[in-house]
């Protein structure tokens, strides 16, 4: 066996989740854990091995090496099932296992996996003038696109490199298109012609990817194109599929709500609920849709819509017990329309929590400040909570909004 120092030196040189400088907050870890659980685990998901790799890393960061090991082994089995052999697609996975066994104090097993990585790197070297093998490059890109702005910029560069090395890989091109469009998510009308063309090309190369299709229709709708017939056709296809983070249902509902009809968006949400009554992901999508309808109405909203939204948010909160802060804030938002004191009670309970990390506190202070300003006309207290959010030295969208 090599010395501990030599082992650690070799581990640090690997390309895997433990060496990619991923230091997410507890809030982000919980969010990612739940989001990854809501990604399809059917055998047709080409990213399934990557999903399990990232899940393993997240569970290790959350303090459970046993759960991490389960997911890393599941990733190994998935890659071997898809490819029917060992190859460069296992480099990251074996690197993760080498790191995990070292962290668990099992250095002999760690060295075994390190040797496997070195053997793969020798058999499948990176192309000339490239630092990473295209398979490693693509997995790193796919992983980084799940994180924040700086990581997403790096992910875009990596996807570009991976596609350049393997231009016929449709899945990489589609993910690159999705990532390129991400910065326009809040303002699709501003999507550049170059990115729009990239998304359009992805729909043509990857016609079974309904998420990309829904993304392209959203961009078309934002540019005031006629999309009703295409949207109806796409709705039929999406509703027939299993519901998950990348099935396109969220984008479809957004498409109808923003560019066609809020009432039709609610109908699609109801149809999805009827077909998938046990899906927590569908319940969350529907709850968001009902909430948007409530706040789009002038005057007093329909009590049935409010009751439905309240009921859905309560079910979503039960389904995401460790990641329900934002959902509880959404529930408070709905109560603002009918019961200010109930909304205030929810906020008071949240403000008493001592387990929130810095970003969660910023989120809570920002939304509570809005509640104080708009619902209770308490301008001074509202400003106090905005300043409390700003004083937390953690860069986030909630801090930026509080500053504004």
Tens of pLDDT, residue by residue over 176-201, are 999 999 989 888 999 999 999 999 99
Would the pLDDT of 28 be above 90? no
**DSSP for residue 257:** I
The number of C-alpha atoms within 13 Å of 399 and in the hemisphere containing its C-beta is 11
Would the pLDDT of 63 be above 90? yes
Looking at residues 95-119, what average pLDDT do you find? 97
Looking at residues 127-155, what average pLDDT do you find? 93
What was the pLDDT predicted at 311? 97
Burial of 1 by CB count in 10 Å (0-12 exposed, 13-18 middle, 19+ buried)?
exposed
Q: 363 is written with which tokens?
A: 């989120």
pLDDT digits (tens, 9 = 90+) for 244-286: 888 999 999 999 999 999 999 999 999 999 999 999 999 999 9
Would the pLDDT of 337 be above 70? yes
What was the pLDDT predicted at 82? 81
What was the pLDDT predicted at 345? 96
Contact 14, 113 (CB under 8 A): no
What was the pLDDT predicted at 205? 95
pLDDT category at 332 given cuts 50, 70, 90 is very high
Rounded Cα distance between 54 and 174, Å, is: 20
pLDDT category at 74 given cuts 50, 70, 90 is very high
Higher-confidence residue of 224 and 45: namely 224
Phi then psi for residue 313, to 5 deg, are: -65, -35
Fold of 1-162: 1.25.40
Q: Report CA-CA distances (Å) from 253 to 241, 242, 303.
A: 15, 16, 22
Phi then psi for residue 309, to 5 deg, are: -65, -45
Phi then psi for residue 271, to 5 deg, are: -65, -45
What was the pLDDT predicted at 1? 67
pLDDT category at 148 given cuts 50, 70, 90 is confident
Helix (H), strand (E) counts: the chain: 21, 0
Global pTM reads 0.91
């Amino acid at each position: 066996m090599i010395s501990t120092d030599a082992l650690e030196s070799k581990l640090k040189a690997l390309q895997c989740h433990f060496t990619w400088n991923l230091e997410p907050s507890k809030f982000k870890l919980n969010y990612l854990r739940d989001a990854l659980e809501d990604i399809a685990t059917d055998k047709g998901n080409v990213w399934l091995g990557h999903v399990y790799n990232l899940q393993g890393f997240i569970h290790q960061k959350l303090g459970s090496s046993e759960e991490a090991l389960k997911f890393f082994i599941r990733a190994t089995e998935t890659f071997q099932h898809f490819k029917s052999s060992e190859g460069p697609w296992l480099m990251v996975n074996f690197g993760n296992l080498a790191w995990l066994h070292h962290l668990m104090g099992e250095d002999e097993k760690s060295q075994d996996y390190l040797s496997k990585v070195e053997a793969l790197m020798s058999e499948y070297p990176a192309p000339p003038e490239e630092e990473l093998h295209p398979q490693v490059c693509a997995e790193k890109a796919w992983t980084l696109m799940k994180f924040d702005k700086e990581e997403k910029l790096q992910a875009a560069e990596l996807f570009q490199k991976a596609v350049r090395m393997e231009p016929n890989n449709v899945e990489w091109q589609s993910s690159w298109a999705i990532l390129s469009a991400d910065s326009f998510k809040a303002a699709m009308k501003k999507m550049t012609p170059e990115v729009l063309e990239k998304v359009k090309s992805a729909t043509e190369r990857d016609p079974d990817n309904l998420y990309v299709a829904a993304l392209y229709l959203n961009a078309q709708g934002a540019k005031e194109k006629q999309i009703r017939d295409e949207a109806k056709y796409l709705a039929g296809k999406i509703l027939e599929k299993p519901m998950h983070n990348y099935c396109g249902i969220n984008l479809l509902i957004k498409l109808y709500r923003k560019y066609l009809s809020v009432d039709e968006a609610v109908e699609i949400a109801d149809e999805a609920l009827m077909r998938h009554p046990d899906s927590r992901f569908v319940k969350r999508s529907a709850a968001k849709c009902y909430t948007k309808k409530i706040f789009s109405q002038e005057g007093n909203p329909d009590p049935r819509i409010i009751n439905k939204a309240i009921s859905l948010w309560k079910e979503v909160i039960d389904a995401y017990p460790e990641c329900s802060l934002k959902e509880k804030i959404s529930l408070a938002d709905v109560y603002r329309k009918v019961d200010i004191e109930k909304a205030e009670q929810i906020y008071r309970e949240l403000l008493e929590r001592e387990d929130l990390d810095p970003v969660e506190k910023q989120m809570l202070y920002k939304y509570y400040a809005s509640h104080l300003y708009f619902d209770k006309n308490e301008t001074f207290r509202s400003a106090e909570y905005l300043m409390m959010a700003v004083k937390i030295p953690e860069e986030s969208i909630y801090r930026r909004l509080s500053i504004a």
